[in-house]
Amino acid sequence: MSREVPEFPITARSLYSYIVETLQNFRARSTIGLLKVWSLLALPLVCSSQDKPVIPGGRGPLQLEQVIAPESLTTSLTTLATQRRWDEVLNAALLGLSEKPGDPILHYWTGVARFHQQDFVRAVLSLRSAEKLGLDTAAFHEALGLTYYAIHQHVLFLQQMEAAIRADPGGPMPHHYLGRYYEHDVNDYLKAISYFEKALERDPADYKSLHFRAFCLQMLGRDEEARAGYEAAIRRIEAGGSTFGWPYQKLAELLIPTDLQAALQYARQAVLLEPAVEANHLIVAKVYESRGDFDAAIRECLDAARLKPNDPAIRYVLVRLYKKKGDSADAAEQLKVHEKLRSIYISKQ
């Protein structure tokens, strides 16, 4: 059963009314039909990226890459998500819970909204409420698991990923998340590869699992296999028109010793796809440095520093580049900034 999506701007009550009516239609079905809604990937889980050093290879913390909505909610929630309107989702869900406190789906959306607001402790409480009320879908367990991960409860994260697999054995995402965990947090690259391969068995178009599998191969010193993996990920990205620059960046890195022109082309494409990722600018800078073009390398590093001003590693790269250029004054200035940021970072450990 379909119904016209409400016009924007959406108030909390109008969205809540829409949710209630949709859920009534939704629950009237004999089976629950769920549709994946791809959400924002830009919000880190553990802490602000401004407080963390550069992590190579796209190895940032795990992120909630999708949420699940009833079919007829897809359009409105996708719009809210892409516009980062999680405050409105939260307000609508809380308004609904004031009238229907026993509704597990409203508790779920409350948790998902709080997750995206990085209010992880209250997100856990909301999602646990949904669990106690009987919600037992793969998407729910993925959301709760990644929220546990965000508060460093890794054992509970692993338990929820296993629950997600039991709930939907054919779903790729729990395997992808487990691969990311073993790659990023445990550095067990062989085990990570095994999970990425399981994700790819279930979704051959999963370019992110292709990329991270290639990254694990690179970390194991299997560069030729890694290159083939990055190229495969790039083909999938270009076939689908996606904006994911990491395989371009890592392929550029592999090509620097043998083909600087190709490396520069891939590095520039990474920046074109994701200009807000500082590591993409750094790989362009590395190519320019290898070519002896220190002015261009410095420009890219300064772009990276503007994106991530509190990263001491970027400042140290600038120190080196200014020294190579023969600019001792700017090198000394960047060294001061580097030492200040490094002392702050060490004090937080």
pLDDT of the residue at 91: 86
Of 90-94, 195-199, 232-236, 287-291, the range with the lowest mean pLDDT is 90-94
| pTM for the model | 0.79
pLDDT value at 304 more than 90? yes
pLDDT value at 59 more than 80? no
- pLDDT, tens only, 130-161: 999 999 999 999 999 999 999 999 999 999 99
Last residue of a domain, one of 118, 146, 168: 168
Q: Token digits for 47? A: 């802490």
Q: Which residues of 6-32 are buried (b: 16+ CB within 10 A; e: fewer)?
A: eeeebebeebbebbeebbeebeeeeee
Asked if 176 and 95 sit in the same domain, the reply is no
> What is the average per-residue pLDDT within 177-188?
96
Q: Check: CB of residue 315 under 8 Å from CB of residue 333.
A: no
pLDDT value at 43 more than 70? no
pLDDT of the residue at 41: 27
Q: Is residue 34 part of a domain?
A: yes
Provide the CATH number for the domain around residue 176.
1.25.40.10
Closest by CA to 147, choosing from 165, 123, 125, is 123
Instruction: Report the percent of the chain where pLDDT is more than 90.
Output: 69
Q: Is residue 314 part of a domain?
A: no
Closest by CA to 196, choosing from 209, 186, 183, 184, is 209
Q: What average pLDDT is seen over the chain? A: 83
Asked if 177 and 150 sit in the same domain, the reply is no
Which residue matches tokens 């924007």? 8
Q: In which domain, by residue range, is 227 found?
A: 170-240
If pLDDT is split at 50, 70 and 90, which confidence band does 60 have? low
Last residue of a domain, one of 144, 168, 192: 168
If pLDDT is split at 50, 70 and 90, which confidence band does 93 have? confident
- pLDDT, tens only, 210-254: 999 999 999 999 999 999 999 999 999 999 999 999 999 999 999
Q: Token digits for 6? A: 């409400």
Asked if 181 and 157 sit in the same domain, the reply is no
Q: Which residues of 317-349 are buried (b: 16+ CB within 10 A; e: fewer)?
A: bbbbbbbeeebeeebeebbebbeebbeebeeee
- According to DSSP, the residues that pair with 35 across neighbouring strands are 69
pLDDT of the residue at 207: 97
Asked if 15 and 155 sit in the same domain, the reply is yes
Q: Is residue 286 part of a domain?
A: no
The H or E element spanning position 57 is none
Q: Check: CB of residue 198 under 8 Å from CB of residue 73.
A: no
- pLDDT, tens only, 74-92: 345 456 655 778 888 888 8
68 phi and psi, to 5 degrees? -115, 135
- pLDDT, tens only, 109-127: 899 999 999 999 999 999 9
Last residue of a domain, one of 240, 256, 279: 240
pLDDT of the residue at 23: 44
Number of domains in the chain: 2
Q: Token digits for 150? A: 């965000």
If pLDDT is split at 50, 70 and 90, which confidence band does 16 have? very low
